[in-house]
A and B are shown apart, each in its own frame.
Chain A
Amino acid sequence: MEATLDTVTEQATGPRLEDLDQQYYIDLDLAEESVRQNGIQHMRDWAKRGPFYCNRRGIPVVVCGRYADAQEVYLNPDVYSVEMPPIPGYEIFDFFGGLKAVAQMDGADHARIRRLMMPAFMPAGVKALEEATAKIIEAKLDAIEANGDTFEVMSDFSGDIIGHVLLGAAFNLTPEQQNAFKRAHDSFGLIMGLAPGEPYPQEFLESAGALQQVMMEILEDRRKNPTNDMIGKMVHARDNDDKLTDEELFGQINAVCGAALGTTATSIATALLNLGRHPDQFDMLKADPSMTDMAVTECLRYQSTGFFTFPRYATRDTELAGVKIPKNMVVLASAQATNYDPAVYDKPETFDIKRNPQAIMTFGAGAHHCIGNRLARMVIRKSLEQMMARFPNLRLADPDFDPVYQGMFGEMAPDRVPMQTN
């Protein structure tokens, strides 16, 4: 159809930098590598200031880092929706390359799909994966032990544990099928650094196509041969009216992987990094592993995956803590920054495994609160417990080690965390 003048004028637009109140503007491009490398310092600052404007590759965004501000965003999906308005350039905020994913839906669609996925992630579902997780971790520790007294956490340990738990134990996929997921997930990183309007790279399109094909095979197989794994359960959701379409199933399973794989690997690594950098705390935990649950929460508070949860978009002109947010503006709530808010945490810069904070916002809040939070906590807890039991002398190779950070937009994955077992 030919574009008429009407369709052109009706095209949604985002706010322009020059129209924003400049007193709240900070000249910061969030995509700059220096922001990532100095992420913790930036977020400690954001935790103390109200919402502010900055940009990502020239696209204006508003960032909020105080606990109360981020919570207001998370708890009001009618004003701050995860559904992206069709604005040219915003595709760089699409974590799922155009696939319909539950993390990018609000309202009835979101509620319907989330309730079908929920059972697998609640206490009984997570407990059912504990034994398999313990075995996966034991095998990793065997390999580390056989390899000498040193190892690197990301490549030798945490990198693919959750991949094995989720794709192997929870989804019951063959190694070939698992590889298709891993390849597609690895290629997500390729679209994160794109400038607005830049086309998707070939490898991203090819790996997504290959994954789609594998996924369709898996769905067909699960329909013919009902299984009790997570995909089987989603395929055979009892209520007929609630059945997910193939496209929805693919989108959700892809979203679960996208949300889980990198984040959990990073959270295990940063937990070990920060325990290693605080040997007194690490020793205290080794002496009393019953504190591990509490320690995991403090590790997740102190430093986890990076800066932001999924972006929100203002559905109308609004105001947050006195700062105007025009309709369609990208709203980035920094879950990690809220963990440094002095209004909520006493001495937030202190790492204290006995802190036992009440409600960390590392997993977001509201209807999109991370569905996998129990699974992630379980995998991190078991990783720490089994690692401490196997290697009582576990420590950082260099107690002051500071990693270089990498990853997708908003991510702070350590490039490496070298440790010593003896």
Chain B
Amino acid sequence: MPILNVTDRDGSEKQVDVTMTESLMHVLRDAGYHIAAECGGAAACGTCHVYVDEAWLSKLPEAGEIEAEMVDLLEETKPTSRLSCQVQMDDSLDGLKVTLAPEE
């Protein structure tokens, strides 16, 4: 069962068991994190923004065009920014480290 390492907006860290193959956004939500993701996973609202640990960034499939454009339009972006609704969880991401970006 893959493990996800999450740093919340207040800096607190936790390990989350990933029980299903679903998007990172759904995993974070199921674990009780406040992720608005109002568009439900269509990369249309930019409210599921996370920073992926640098060491893990290259292990994720690259962001698609729509996701990349949406991320560019957020204010608190970093080179490691991703929309969690566009990151599909699977066994290859066991140990993935992410930090929740500020809500905007």
Contacts and interface: CB of A to CB of B under 8 A. Distances in A.
Given A111-B66, A358-B35, A359-B37, A124 B42 contact: no
Contacts of A114: 44
B41 interface: yes
> Across chains A and B, which 3 residue pairs bring their CB atoms closest together, nearest first?
A369-B39, A365-B40, A122-B73
Contacts, number: 56
A124 B44 CA distance: 16
A373 interface: yes
Contacts of B46: 122
Contacts of B35: 358
A99 interface: no
A356 B42 CA distance: 22
Interface string A9-24: 0000000000000000
A365 B75 contact: no
B42 A365 contact: yes
A367 interface: yes
A118 B40 CA distance: 18
Interface of B: 29, 34-42, 44-46, 66, 69-70, 73-75, 104
B36 A359 contact: yes
B44 A123 contact: no
A291 to B, nearest CB: 15
B70 A118 contact: yes
26 contacts: A71-B40, A75-B41, A114-B44, A115-B69, A118-B69, A119-B73, A122-B74, A123-B75, A124-B75, A358-B29, A358-B34, A358-B35, A358-B37, A359-B37, A360-B38, A365-B38, A365-B40, A366-B44, A367-B42, A367-B44, A368-B44, A369-B38, A369-B42, A369-B44, A369-B45, A373-B38
Contacts of A409: none
Interface in A89-145: 111, 114-115, 118-119, 122-124
Q: Determine the main DSSP class of B at the interface with A.
A: loop
Given A365-B42, A369-B44, A124 B73 contact: yes
A365 B74 CA distance: 19
Contacts of B36: 358-359
A365 B34 contact: no
A126 to B, nearest CB: 10
A198 B66 CA distance: 41
A359 B40 contact: yes
Contacts of A74: 40
A290 to B, nearest CB: 14
Interface string A341-382: 000000000000000101111010111110001000000000
B6 to A, nearest CB: 16
Contacts of B44: 114, 366-369
Q: Kindly name the residue among B37, B73, B74 whose own CB sees the greatest number of chain A CB atoms within 10 A.
A: B73
A184 B90 CA distance: 52
A366 B70 contact: no
Contacts of B74: 122-123
Nearest to B46: A122
A366 B74 CA distance: 19
A111 B104 CA distance: 22
B38 A115 contact: no
Contacts of B38: 359-361, 363, 365, 369, 373
A368 B45 CA distance: 10
Contacts of A373: 38, 45
Interface in A135-192: none
Contacts of A111: 66
B47 to A, nearest CB: 8
A248 B87 CA distance: 33
Contacts of A118: 69-70, 73
B19 to A, nearest CB: 19
